[in-house]
Structure 1
Amino acid sequence: ANQINGSLPEEIDRIIRQALEKDRDLRYQTSTDLKTALKRLKRDLDSGRHAVDNSGIHVSRMPSSPAHEHSIAVLYLENLSGIKEDEYLRDGITEDITTELSKIRRLKTFSRAVVMPYRDKQVTAGQVGKELGASYVLTGSLRRAGNRLRINAQLVDATTDFPVWSERYDREMEDVFAVQDEIASKIAAALQITLSPQEQEALAEKPTENLHAYDLYLRGRNFARRVGRQDMQFALQMYENAVALDPKFAVAHAAIANVCAQYYYYFERQDQWIERVNAAAQRAIATGRDEPEIRCAEAWLDFAQGRYESAVDKIRAALGRDPDIDGGYHLYGRALFESGRYQEVVDIMEDALAHAGENYNTTIPIHNALGAMGKTDALKNYTFREIAIFETQLKKTPEDARVRVLLAGNYAYQGRNEDAQRELDLAMALRPDDTMILYNSACTLCEMDRLSEAMAALKKAWEAGYRNPVWTRQDPDLAQLHGNPEFERLYPSAEASAATASPVSPES
């Protein structure tokens, strides 16, 4: 369509292609679905946001769309500290500034996924504005030295590349929230936006009064994304240290509940983890802050205990309030997948990827849903997107064993067996006994038709704690193991489980 009329956005082509898709399962299932897609496109055009970038997990750009009068793209601050450890702080502060600006009703902001492709790239405000349709671009840098923090921020008119406002903040670390508040307020003033009392109150809110607690929370979040047993333990320790410093830190309490629910699901089906989830969620609620992250933690608990419908309802409501909840769409996709609602996973694919941020786990339910539906061509195309995501993540965190083993699986799917073996070996070297590394190693080995080795790895994953037959039996990567006596013994079908009351134990 946009080849005939260049003023049309590229996203309209995707909508038309899906509406005309030969495979009925990949078409819009109802006229309401098509109407929703068109309404979403209109909303994104009105706000200066855009559709999907084929290079990866991010939302793409449509230069032909008009810029909103007060649309602003907040680029990731440049980390001048020279210390890789400070990148999580840089990312957290940048995302918080975006969140602060989003509280201003007359100011349209772009999600973190939209601006992430520009992180650590040499780009001009004019280039970003043209590609995203943003009228203004916020750039800057961050340098931490001991307990001191220097932030340089500059608001640039994307049309003229002329600075509208700039400021340098040289403060103690504990002043970072005040700096974020001040940046948002100064930008509003520079754009002649008068803040309402409600907006001023919202900007004054802080997640915690303790910067050290906030620092620990950001570190924990980075570890939690890796899903490994050791990484989850690190994350839990950091979250618990955060709430010890600030017992009213609601989001950190919710993060504890999240990790405990996932620990129960992936590693240890013991009641103590459920008790810890409930206790942490209650502490979060007791702070008086109704954060959507609390609903996300409750949804994880429902999911881990097999209450899929309730999990879907809760996480959908939480995402309705904040679509950028870290890992929110990952959970949404997993709950839909385990309940057999594969088409719905595919339906939310673009929204999920647009709001995934750095949580690459969001890709997994989509991959499995396409495989379970037998959509070979669609899955083949999708693996190119996954590989781009995983390779980008590895450049930032080469020590992340999980992203390596997921990358290995995609390489194997594409027949790149040497590349797959290299990443598999590195993942196993980094986390040789990790439950989920073993599980995903089995998936990779199945793709390489090494079924006996795959079964051995899967048995080790079972022994290390992952004993969920629902996901495992529905995982298309492991379909070749169905019928294997050991597979059927460890991960029995629902019918087989009902027929036997004796506990499963692996053969020696």
Structure 2
Amino acid sequence: MPLRLVKSHPMKPGLTAKEALRHPKSRLHQPSLAVLPFRNLPQKEDEGHVGEGIAEEVLLALNRVEGLRVISRTTSFLYGGSGLSPVEVGRRLGVHFVLSGELLESGGSRTLSTELVEVPSELVLWSRTCTFQPKDLFETVGDVTKGIAEALHLTLTPRSKQALDPQAYDYYLRGRQYYFRFNRQGMGFAAQMFRRALDVSPEYASAWAGLANCAAYSYIYIERAEPQRQLAESCSLKALELDPDLAEAHASRGLALSAAGLPEEAEEAFETALRLDPNLYEAAYFYARHCFAAGKAERAIEYFEWAAALRPEDFQAILLVAQVYHSLGVEDEAERARKAGLALVEARLQHAPDDVRARYLGANALVALGERDKGLAWARMAREMDPEDPMLLYNLGCIHALAGDPDEALDCLEKAAAGGLSQKDWFQHDGDLDALRALPRFQSLIEALTK
């Protein structure tokens, strides 16, 4: 999705790392690969995350293959169980190669069968079947990744991977599933899962980063409790201490520094994360939120667009960038982004009608696009699902402000602030609230908020 207010050019030879970071679209000219979620055999209820988790580890490792562009997890994983062949998926995604696999669990061992197809020719370039014990998971992932890199005549950048207890890894995968719901209940469950992973493997850097993310998100968007900020600080530092080259650790550090009110240090951490892994969605997404709260609207657009490009099915980044365009008065781009985001929301709600965030972000887009009654009906549905969530209440305030109902908007915003969402910078820069700014009640609310 093209950037509208930030110029972007193909990468040229000799760019520095800092300059290369500013040109993510240069990666579009590289050979591209999609990883499909590995199917669990036999199918077991609530066990699909095992095959998905192993596929994600392969995907993350392939991100370190120089000269290869790997499609984001949530884009390619949408096609798991779709019934489409790998070649058909590859054509839909516009990639050169697709990796698929099956995981058979029998007794105490696992058998992984993987296959790499070239989409244009429909040929199988590489395949492998290996049987391993759960404790040998990451060695197996390394063998698969190395084999793919060799088949494509590309170079894998080595990075050590700590041997993990399979139970810790399982908890970590469950934590990520909850975390990406981006709501209060999800954050609570995610934190529990990351803590359980750390109980089993105390030096698991990714789990420390995940716990830091939960704490920082909770501090910024749910409750301004100082112990949460301190937890984000200590956990992000622990993740970096254990693995200084882990992109997730630098992204969690950026979020912790943003929560601490250290904007320049936070930006440096986010940029380091994206330099280490330009496909890391949460780095681009939270960097964009940080920039918007800091009043850097054009940079917020750059990173929201980056996040949206990493996950073309993600409704959050594209609908939030629409709000930033609106804040700048770029209404044609705001309308474009809202229509695109609303289509994604509708697709999401067909599969997950209880997705509260999809419902209220979609409601915002509907009202902004002139479908006031439908948007307000969606807003009521969202509120019935989770009536006390501060993030939901804040967004309901935005929806009612856009709908021309200032009293209801202020009721929601005041409840959001009382519930813990008191990020003053966001209130000040959100264009959805412009209709409220001259009202004494809104001004009193702003004066009562902390940074």
Q: Is the 8 A contact 1:346 1:370 kept in 2?
A: yes
* CA shift for structure 1 position 85: 3.3
- The Cα shift of 1:253 comes to 0.8
User: Which residue number in structure 2 is paired with residue 244 of structure 1?
Assistant: 199
For the pair 1:272 / 2:255, whether they are aligned, the reply is no
SS of the equivalent of 2:127 reads strand
Match of 1:384 among 339, 361, 382: 339
The answer to whether the 8 A contact 1:72-1:136 is kept is yes
2:329 aligned with 1:368:
no
The match for 1:400 is 355
Q: CA deviation at 1:34?
A: 4.5
State how far apart, in whole Å, the 2-side matches of 1:217 and 1:107 are.
Answer: 27
Query: Which residue number in structure 2 is paired with residue 103 of structure 1?
Result: 64
Find 2:127's aligned residue among 166, 172, 176.
166
**Is 1:92 equivalent to 2:53 in the alignment?**
yes
Residue 30 (structure 2) aligned to one of 41, 44, 47: 47
| Aligned match of 2:113 | 152
Q: Provide the rounded CA distance (Å) in 2 between the counterparts of 1:454 and 1:141.
A: 50
Shift in CA distance, 212/465, structure 1 to aligned 2, threshold 3 Å: same
Correspondent of 1:291 among 246, 249, 255: 246
Q: Identify the match of residue 141 of structure 2 among 174, 180, 198.
A: 180
Deviations 1:135-177 (A, max 9, x none): 4321234466897655432222323323333344565544433
CA distance in structure 1 between the aligned counterparts of 2:65 and 2:414, rounded to whole angstroms = 53
1:462 to 402, 417, 420: 417
Query: Structure 1 residues 246, 378: closer, same or farther in 2, change over 3 A?
Result: same
CA distance in 2, matches of 1:410, 1:207: 44
Report the Cα distance in structure 2 between the residues aligned to 1:235 and 1:400, rounded to whole angstroms. Answer: 17
The separation in 1 between residues aligned to 2:193 and 2:24, in whole angstroms, is: 40
* Counterpart residue type for residue 137 of structure 2: V
Please tell me whether the aligned partners of residues 285 and 303 of structure 2 are also in contact (alpha carbons under 8 angstroms).
no
Q: Paired residue for 1:233? A: 188
CA contact (8 A) 1:225 1:361 kept: no
CA distance in 1, matches of 2:338, 2:40: 31
2:382 to 415, 427, 433: 427
Once residues 42 and 326 of structure 1 are traced to their aligned partners in structure 2, the CA distance between those partners, rounded to angstroms, is 15
Relative to structure 1, is the Cα distance of residues 192 and 273 closer, same or farther in structure 2, using a 3 angstrom cutoff? closer
Using a 3 Å threshold, how does the CA distance of structure 1 residues 386 and 360 change in structure 2: closer, same or farther? closer
Deviations 1:57-113 (A, max 9, x none): xxxxxxxxxxxxxx5332333466655634444443322212223334465544436
Confirm or deny: 8 A CA contact 2:319 2:365 kept in the other structure: no
- Mean alpha-carbon deviation: is it higher for 37-46 or for 412-421? 37-46
Residue 308 of structure 1 corresponds to 263
- The equivalent residue for 2:18 is none
Contact 1:363 1:386 in 2 (8 A): yes
Q: Distance in 2 between matches of 1:422 and 1:90?
A: 38
Distance 2:261 2:41 in 1: 46
Aligned match of 2:20: none
TM-score with structure 2 setting the length: 0.85
CA-to-aligned-CA distance 1:373-422 (integer Å, 9 cap, x gap): 01122111101221233334445544332222212212222233444244
Which of 467, 471, 479 is 2:426 aligned to?
A: 471
Contact 2:175–2:189 at 8 Å: present in 1 too? yes
Pick closer, same or farther for the CA change 1:114–1:226 going to 2, 3 Å.
closer
Instruction: Compute the displacement of 1:218 (Å).
Output: 1.7
Check 1:349–1:299 CA distance in 2 against 1; reply closer, same or farther (3 A cut): closer
In structure 2, the CA distance between the partners of 1:114 and 1:43, relative to structure 1 (3 Å rule), is farther
Q: Is 2:39–2:52's contact at 8 Å kept on the other side of the alignment?
A: no
Does the C-alpha gap of structure 1 residues 149 and 489 become closer, same or farther in structure 2, counting only changes over 3 Å?
farther
Q: Which amino acid aligns with 1:213?
A: A
Any idea what the Cα deviations from partners look like across 1:244-276, whole Å, max 9, x if unmatched?
110110111112122212211122223212221
Contact 2:33 2:97 (8 Å CA) reproduced: yes
Structure 2 distance, partners of 1:141, 1:388, is 32
Alpha-carbon distance between aligned partners in 2 of 1:158 and 1:407, rounded to the nearest angstrom: 35
Deviations 1:408-456 (A, max 9, x none): 2122222334442443233222211111111111222223323222221
SS at match of 2:292: helix
Tell me the SS of whatever aligns to 2:46: helix
> Is the Cα–Cα contact under 8 Å of residues 216 and 256 in structure 2 kept in the other structure?
yes
Instruction: Provide the residue aligned with 1:413 in structure 2.
Output: 368
Residue 407 (structure 2) aligned to one of 452, 468, 491: 452
Q: Distance in 2 between matches of 1:470 and 1:153?
A: 48
Alpha-carbon spacing, 1:224–1:111, altered in 2? closer, same or farther (3 Å): closer
> Are 2:71 and 2:310, in contact at CA under 8 Å, matched by a contact in 1?
no
% identical aligned pairs: 26
Decide which of 37, 55, 62 is 1:76's aligned counterpart: 37
Calculate the TM-score normalised by the size of structure 1: 0.76
Change over 3 Å in CA distance of 1:481–1:80 after alignment to 2: farther
Q: Deviations over 1:281-339 (max 9, x none)?
A: 33323425442222222211222233323322221221111123342112111121122
Q: How far apart, in 1, do the equivalents of 2:338 and 2:441 lie?
A: 29
Matches within 5 A, 1:57-72: 71-72=32-33
- How many residue pairs get matched? 441
1:136 is matched with 97
Higher mean C-alpha deviation, range 105-114 or range 262-271: 105-114
Q: 1:221 to 1:288 in 2, by over 3 A?
A: closer
Q: Distance in 2 between matches of 1:194 and 1:444?
A: 49
